[in-house]
A and B are shown apart, each in its own frame.
Chain A
Amino acid sequence: MRFVGESIPRVEDRRILTGRGKYVDDLTLPKMLHAAFVRSPFAHARIKSIDVSAARATPGVVAVFTGDDMRRFCNPVSTSLAFGVKFPEFYPLTSDKVRFVGDVVAMVVAESRYEAEDGCELVAVDYDQLPAVADYDDAIDPTKPALFDELGDNVVITNAPVSWGDVDAAFAEADRVVSASLRQHRVAPVPMETRGSVADYDASSGELTYYASTQSPHSLRLQLANTLGHPMERFRVLANDVGGGFGLKGSVVREDFCVAAASRELGRPVKWIEDRNEHLIASGQAREEMVQIEMAVKADGTFLGMKAKLIMDAGAYPNVPFVSAMFVGLMQLLMPGPYRMKGYRFESSVISTNKAAYVAYRGPWEMETWVRERLVDIVAHEIGVDAAEIRRKNMMLGAPDDRLITGLTVKGISSRESLDRALEYIDYAGFRKEQEAARAQGRYLGVGFATFIEAAPGPAEMRPGGGMFGGERAKVALQPDGHLVVTTAQAPHGQGHETTLAQVAADEMGVPFEHVRVVHGDTRQTPFSVIGTGGSRASTWATGATIVSTRKLREHVLAIASGMLEISPEDLEIIDGVVTPKGVPQRGLPLAQIAMKALMDPASLPPGTDGPLETHERFTGEGITGSGWSGGTHACTIEVDVATGRVKILRYVVVEDCGRVINPAVVDGQVCGGVAQGIGAVLYERAAYDSEGNFLTSTFMDYLLPTSAEIPHIEIHHLETDPDGAFGFRGVGEGGAVVAPATLTNAIDDALQPFGSRVCDQYLPPATVAEIAGGASA
């Protein structure tokens, strides 16, 4: 291994550092038009009439489309991944009702974006307001109107209770039952590049090309072709540089359908670039859930059982292709975490409100970790056991027969080691003394820690034959000059796959790193994946696919070389792009020579070796070593100014186990970015609606992202269990965002213990912190 394990500078960096990146808004096509949308100012209202005549007469405006037009151009939006939820009939533009502030009512297409916005100003919509369904209580209130008349009410799905073990016996045995109602607030992924696309319909061929800022090109193509009723042999999606996604850009939004339909109708390219205001209002938000939970424990802190009841607020329109209700299944599976218990019951429901759609956000199941790790601290406080001790007492060690209460094997997990190491690095014992001394001086320090496990890829029984997405494919092709093209199903948007997959392929083949080009984002070339880049799949699934495809190509090349050199393939190796008899480097055969022979003189190839020097293999997960679980423990120390409620993070320590690390700098970047998002969610960010469903945080002055001055230095340690396994790479993209909220809220709660703190809301802005401390609230 020469490249794997090294912080190789990224292939992507030269272009992004010199202004040569190609993001979707950088694309200009001849005759291109620009779109803008008219959006609802109301959370819930019937549309009485729309008058677009003045808009149509505006200079530069080429077309104005309404919901009725889109009903003619399109099929209803649908998905095959509805997971049993009640799925309403809706179209790209609404025509009967608006269902959230920002709902799309009309589309104006003009010669420039400025003129398109002029046109939007002149679209007159007459609304008849309806009572808003703004929260969990409204959603189950029978006097409130249903968002979608045909669905009858606002409960999208009610999942019956599911149990593991003997829950009643576990609770009967308990010395104490600790209960809590834990809520997390809406936040949003907020990539720095908003959504956007350019649709280019070519009337001569009937081909529709859709350039998009997406992390799931194949899903986008499937959804668009389906709703537009467009034949897929004439439908191509292209994604070039994408300015962040974090799950959000795996969704297909209604504007996407509109842009594609408009180009097809008008026979000209149409560009739509969402502005930040639209993005915050309408592109989607995440994380809004509430859990009522009970934990049965013995007086000594031994966990016995857990009962949880979860409600998710999915917003108005279902997310496609993955409805948000699917994440509830992961929350259910992982909520008990790596702790022993005898019984567990989980029930859930998903409701609909007049808010933007609930979309995937970096670790969409994060609620399970936050709830569990917060609850463990609450239990520890209530029974008077140290928060570290109670975890040590109950945490599985990864023994061969260890299983989560939900049944999944966790042989080899490193949760306990990560906990011990994190507490050691943060100097837990020392900090407790410091905390005590500080309290005596009226200063409030806190320490918090939390442990997560992530099924990336999960144990073998979770992914028979490659799991619910059928594993992943990659293509690897030898070029006539001996270089390699790896075509991945991933759709990177910051993760550096052009670098990391090239490291893997270069090592596997035996070629220089610079000789490997990674191609992505073109549905005409890339293997199908319903996800693209998401779910922390790249380091396991895309890497595995690259390895198995490269390995097969290598065998093919060696079979040809074996015939040419009259040496058995086992006695050949490939070093720096040259096939070499072991120990006889001077007899080397460059890959270029083999590639050219295969192209120009196939008749002379050894028997059975003719055929393209290109492989297209599927990685099913076979050969994955280790536990299959990513995970780790984060710990942080803080100081709270109880007068102002300001939380200052003193230290933030990460102990991460994502198996073998391909590119340490890339991995650390994933960890730091996730942690920053978790910190942001707790202290700064909130996608806020009032009780009438009005959206309150539609600019960056209201929706606060953390800056370099708020995010602390993050100290990262890798465990790299099973570093030698052939497929020992595990996912790392989501863990930071999954466990940081629990880590930080636990620290804040710890700091505020002298005030009787019992944090049950994840959002802890200064006013709330000061209020808990009994100080002056802002």
Chain B
Amino acid sequence: MTKQSVRLTVNGREREGSAEPRKTLADFLREDLQLTGTHLGCEHGVCGACTIMVDGDAVRSCLLFAVQADGCDILTIEGLEKDGKMHPLQEAMRDCHSFQCGFCTPGFLMTAYAYLQEDHEFSEPEIREELSGNLCRCTGYQSIVAGVQLAAVRLGKRQEGASS
């Protein structure tokens, strides 16, 4: 099958490659750009493990073709750390023991990252609703919800000790 060229910005770097039109963006990131931090849990858009930021929105990279992302600005889990220091969201999730096996982690991080860009209440019920498009099988979600809430506090998005 004929390949088409794909140019995009990933985690602040210009990247270029070529992909068959049928190749998903997730596969392109993982195979062609060796960015294996993005995971594939279902390849049909339900589990959310492959969530990345595309032009500022949280998007499922298994549901986009690489050629559709030509010219886009992409952020993946590998781009959250700056100068060897984890993003406050990552630190909060470590401090809350948010994850176990780590497979769903990139999707939750990117979904939560997008959520934390906006202004919200960051109450427990709201966080649970916002994260409900991502599946985790290990944790029962409690520690992930706690991690996002702690990040919201540390990022100044929520008052410490606010109700619920």
- Chain A: residues with CB nearer than 8 A to chain B? 7, 9-10, 12-21, 23, 25-26, 28, 114, 189-194, 241-244, 246, 275-277, 493-496, 665-666, 668-669, 672-677, 699-701, 705, 707-711, 713-714
The residues of B that contact A674 with a CB separation of less than 8 Å are 140
Q: Given that A276-B42, A700-B42 are contacting pairs, would A14 and B94 also be in contact in the complex, using a CB cutoff of 8 Å? A: yes
- Report Cα–Cα, A193/B131, bound state, in Å: 19
Instruction: Count chain A CB atoms within 10 A of each CB in B34, B42, B93 and give the residue with the most.
Output: B42
The residues of B that contact A676 with a CB separation of less than 8 Å are 139-141
The 3 closest A-B pairs by CB, nearest first: A19-B37, A243-B103, A16-B102
Are B78 and A708 within 8 A (Cβ)? no
Q: Given that A244-B138, A494-B101, A714-B142 are contacting pairs, would A276 and B86 also be in contact in the complex, using a CB cutoff of 8 Å? A: no
How many inter-chain residue pairs (CB < 8 Å) link A and B? 177
With beta carbons under 8 angstroms apart, the residue of B22, B44, B140 that contacts A711 is B140
The residues of B that contact A20 with a CB separation of less than 8 Å are 37
Are A707 and B101 within 8 A (Cβ)? no
A-B contact pairs, 25 of them (CB 8 A): A9-B95, A12-B102, A15-B102, A17-B102, A19-B37, A21-B102, A114-B20, A192-B104, A192-B136, A243-B101, A246-B137, A494-B101, A494-B102, A665-B97, A672-B143, A677-B137, A699-B46, A700-B135, A708-B132, A708-B144, A709-B128, A709-B129, A709-B132, A711-B142, A714-B142
With beta carbons under 8 angstroms apart, the residue of A19, A242, A275, A494 that contacts B38 is A19
**What per-residue 1/0 map shows which CB atoms of B94-111 lie under 8 Å from chain A?**
111101111111100100
The residues of B that contact A21 with a CB separation of less than 8 Å are 37, 102-103, 105
Q: Given that A192-B136, A244-B137, A714-B140 are contacting pairs, would A673 and B100 also be in contact in the complex, using a CB cutoff of 8 Å? A: yes
The residues of A that contact B47 with a CB separation of less than 8 Å are 192, 276, 700
The residues of A that contact B153 with a CB separation of less than 8 Å are none
With beta carbons under 8 angstroms apart, the residue of A14, A114, A244, A711 that contacts B86 is A14
Q: How far is the CB of A232 from chain B (nearest CB, A)?
A: 29
| B64 in contact (CB, < 8 A) | no
The residues of A that contact B86 with a CB separation of less than 8 Å are 14, 17-18
The residues of A that contact B143 with a CB separation of less than 8 Å are 665, 668-669, 672
Are A19 and B76 within 8 A (Cβ)? yes
The residues of A that contact B39 with a CB separation of less than 8 Å are 23, 25, 192-193, 243
Q: Given that A18-B77, A191-B103, A496-B100 are contacting pairs, would A669 and B135 also be in contact in the complex, using a CB cutoff of 8 Å? A: no
- Report Cα–Cα, A243/B105, bound state, in Å: 10
Are B40 and A242 within 8 A (Cβ)? no
Q: Given that A18-B78, A673-B137, A708-B131 are contacting pairs, would A193 and B103 also be in contact in the complex, using a CB cutoff of 8 Å? A: yes
With beta carbons under 8 angstroms apart, the residue of B35, B97, B128, B142 that contacts A10 is B97
Are B44 and A699 within 8 A (Cβ)? yes
Are B105 and A17 within 8 A (Cβ)? yes
With beta carbons under 8 angstroms apart, the residue of B36, B78, B80, B135 that contacts A26 is B36
The residues of A that contact B138 with a CB separation of less than 8 Å are 192, 244, 494, 669, 673
The residues of A that contact B34 with a CB separation of less than 8 Å are 28
Q: How far is the CB of B112 from chain A (nearest CB, A)?
A: 11
The residues of A that contact B140 with a CB separation of less than 8 Å are 669, 672-676, 711, 714
With beta carbons under 8 angstroms apart, the residue of A192, A495, A665, A668 that contacts B41 is A192
With beta carbons under 8 angstroms apart, the residue of B78, B94, B142 that contacts A19 is B78
Instruction: Count chain A CB atoms within 10 A of each CB in B38, B103, B124, B145 and give the residue with the most.
Output: B103
Closest A residue by C-beta to B31? A28
Q: Within B27-55, which residues are at the interface with A (CB < 8 Å)?
A: 30-31, 34-44, 46-47, 49
- Report Cα–Cα, A493/B137, bound state, in Å: 12
Instruction: Count chain A CB atoms within 10 A of each CB in B38, B49, B128 and give the residue with the most.
Output: B128
Closest A residue by C-beta to B76? A19
- Report Cα–Cα, A23/B36, bound state, in Å: 9
Are A114 and B23 within 8 A (Cβ)? yes
The residues of A that contact B131 with a CB separation of less than 8 Å are 707-708
Besides A699-B42, A707-B131, A707-B135, 17 other A-B contacts (C-beta < 8 A): A16-B102, A17-B99, A18-B37, A18-B77, A19-B76, A21-B103, A23-B36, A23-B103, A28-B34, A243-B101, A244-B101, A244-B103, A494-B100, A668-B142, A673-B139, A673-B140, A709-B129
The residues of A that contact B102 with a CB separation of less than 8 Å are 12, 15-17, 21, 241, 243, 494
The residues of A that contact B145 with a CB separation of less than 8 Å are 708
The residues of B that contact A669 with a CB separation of less than 8 Å are 97, 100, 138-140, 143
Are B81 and A242 within 8 A (Cβ)? no
- Report Cα–Cα, A14/B97, bound state, in Å: 11
Are B103 and A192 within 8 A (Cβ)? yes
- Report Cα–Cα, A666/B143, bound state, in Å: 10
The residues of B that contact A714 with a CB separation of less than 8 Å are 140, 142
Closest A residue by C-beta to B77? A19
- Report Cα–Cα, A242/B124, bound state, in Å: 29
| B90 in contact (CB, < 8 A) | yes
Instruction: Count chain A CB atoms within 10 A of each CB in B23, B36, B96, B145 and give the residue with the most.
Output: B36
- Report Cα–Cα, A12/B100, bound state, in Å: 9
Q: Given that A19-B38, A276-B43 are contacting pairs, would A193 and B95 also be in contact in the complex, using a CB cutoff of 8 Å? A: no
Closest A residue by C-beta to B41? A192
Closest A residue by C-beta to B91? A17
Are B81 and A18 within 8 A (Cβ)? yes
The residues of A that contact B37 with a CB separation of less than 8 Å are 18-21
